[in-house]
Structure 1
Amino acid sequence: MIVDTASRLFFTQGYHATGLNQIIKESDCPKGSLYYYFPEGKEGLASECIEHTRVVVLEKLNQCFANASNAVEAIQAFIQSVGEEAVESQFEGFMPFSFWAAVETSCISMNLRTDSQAVFKDWQDLIALNLQKEGMVEVKSVEVASMVLSLLEGALILTLTNRNEQTLMSASKYVAYLIN
């Protein structure tokens, strides 16, 4: 409950605007529990939120790769599902990783920057591995995976700014050009 509440608040308000007292109040957990599980305080909690997001996204990506006939279809399905989540949450409840974690916290904390780098590397490695399974050479697969993530993150920013999923849907369509 603490991690879910903190993730939601970090996303909607930002890392700096979210206080531990607010997380405690909204998660309805005792103050001692927060400090028991997160003795490093807010930074430790943010690190756990980053890890939670890493795992959730990796699971979704793996599921998309398992259910699709090729990497293009898998990545398109993933991006489309992100767009659907954005619409369902009215552009407020889903957690695009880049905003609060990578952008805001990497400038203030080496630990959170390292955590963010690891997340993007894991996602990139998963995409690259699946591209390699389809015959793409390693160097190119890593570059293409990086561009897929860049396209996705940029599309997320525009989707949230415009409160419209069209940019994500366009990004989904253009993934095929990047990969092919």
Structure 2
Amino acid sequence: MSEKINTRHNILETAARLFFTKGYHATGLSQIIKESDCPKGSLYYYFPDGKEELALECINCTRELVIEKWSSKFAEFDEPSDAVQAFVLDMAEDAEKFDYKGYMPFSFWMAVETSSISEKLRSAGQAVFASWQAVISDRLIAAGMEKGKATEIGVVIISLLEGALILALTNRDKQPLLTAAKCLPYVINQCPSF
């Protein structure tokens, strides 16, 4: 049974890396099969609907991974602003550690690239951002922030992080993430309701 789990995981990991580094359109199933070193039948066994199903699974896995990281940071810190800042600083360290390649398989470009080709992929991308925003907003509400403001702050934080991530990857420099981390406590604690 563990061999099956490892094969499926290997296919997913390879697909996520290729989708991130080459893009959804430029990644073919034959390339995923070759680089994952898995039999062609295994890919179709685990993902009978092909590339779209594989992309959906990659998106969902990333959504869960990031939610787990957010939840862990919020559990580690009493103040939500401290947790958000620590989350972004960890992102900056991960970006540098992985040489700005493939450490976050879903982000702005995956959402933009896939949203126009498939309603399922667009919905999955929408769900990713909504769930990340909800984790942040829920923690802010638990800390005493009014729901409407917490929802707005969740949107701002995810937007700021995605922008900083794009700049960090484009420049191959963690400074945009460090700058975002420095500003986020102000966004959380001082931002007025809109």
With the shorter chain as reference, the TM-score category is over 0.9
Counterpart pick for 1:120 among 123, 126, 129: 129
Which of the two has higher C-alpha Rg? 2
Aligned residues: 180
Residue in 1 that maps onto 2:4 = none
Matched residue, 1:147: 156
Of 27, 37, 43, which aligns to 1:28? 37
Where does residue 40 of structure 1 map in the other structure?
Answer: 49
4+ residue segments displaced more than 3 Å: none
- Secondary structure of the corresponding residue to residue 18 of structure 1: coil
- Whether 1:79 aligns to 2:88 is yes
Whether the 8 Å contact between 1:47 and 1:115 is mirrored in structure 2 is: yes
Aligned residue for 1:6, secondary structure, equals helix
Question: Amino acid of the residue matched to residue 91 of structure 1?
Answer: Y
Indicate which of 97, 113, 124 corresponds to 1:104. 113
Residues in 1 aligned to 2:124 and 2:144: alpha-carbon distance in whole angstroms = 30
What is the rounded CA distance, in whole Å, between the counterparts of 1:23 and 1:122 in structure 2? 28
CA RMSD of aligned residues (A): 0.9
Distance 1:101 1:2 in 2: 18
- Cα drift, residue 114 of structure 1: 0.4
For 2:104, the equivalent position in structure 1 comes to 95
Which TM-score applies when normalising by structure 2? 0.91
- Which one of the candidate residues 119, 123, 142 is aligned to 1:133? 142
- Gaps (5+ residues) in structure 1? none
Maintained 8 Å contact 1:151/1:171: yes
Q: TM-score, normalised by structure 1?
A: 0.98
Partner of 2:12: 3
Q: 1:145 is aligned with what amino acid?
A: G
Does structure 1 residue 169 correspond to structure 2 residue 178? yes
